Chains A and B, each alone.
Chain A
């Protein structure tokens, strides 16, 4: 158990819909990272937040957005969903803003878009 929690574990929705994925980092960790793992694209970094502020952006679509709240939990919002958005979405956390620090991964949220 990494100490990172993600909800829900599974999500099934339809094209065009909007969903919110939630992540609670390990106690004391200030950074949250979001990753997407799909058969087509593999594992890709989406975005990083550090202590409430966006720190780095990767291959995140404009239809996707994220935020980190004062209690340090984070949400990833996916809108206008397409079939190709079906993937496993991971959240990871670390104690500093440096991505080279050990990142602790949650178990993921599996999103299925029908």
Chain B
């Protein structure tokens, strides 16, 4: 069965600093990989997704993520965070076969300090 781990429950960074949120997955093949963001009181919004090809994926709001097969990772990065990036971030893995669907990580809460 597929699974995804987000080892950091809460991260605090200063506005303007760089950001990296970690995501590790477990799956028998190369999965589909997603990053979602959830702002307070809002639903989830897709930031980016990886299916195949170039392992560096560009998303919305200046985010990018890199798929590393050898490390089973799909870390999310942003070179300079803004106060509006404060939110909860979810990594998700999707299976490629049959009835496999999305499995979400437990999320990382991002706090931005001035």
Contacts and interface: CB of A to CB of B under 8 A. Distances in A.
A42 B106 contact: yes
Given A99-B101, A99-B102, A2 B43 contact: yes
Contacts of A107: 41-43
B43 A100 contact: no
A106 B104 contact: no
Contacts of B101: 45, 48, 56, 58, 99
A4 interface: yes
Interface residues of A, number: 20
Interface band, chain B: 10 to 19
A44 B105 CA distance: 10
Nearest to A42: B106
B94 A103 contact: no
B84 interface: no
Nearest to A88: B43
Interface in A59-104: 90, 92, 99-100, 102-103
Nearest to A108: B43
29 contacts: A2-B43, A2-B45, A42-B104, A42-B105, A42-B106, A43-B90, A43-B104, A44-B104, A45-B101, A45-B102, A56-B99, A56-B101, A57-B99, A58-B101, A90-B44, A92-B43, A92-B44, A99-B94, A99-B102, A100-B49, A100-B51, A100-B94, A102-B46, A102-B49, A103-B44, A105-B43, A107-B41, A107-B42, A107-B43
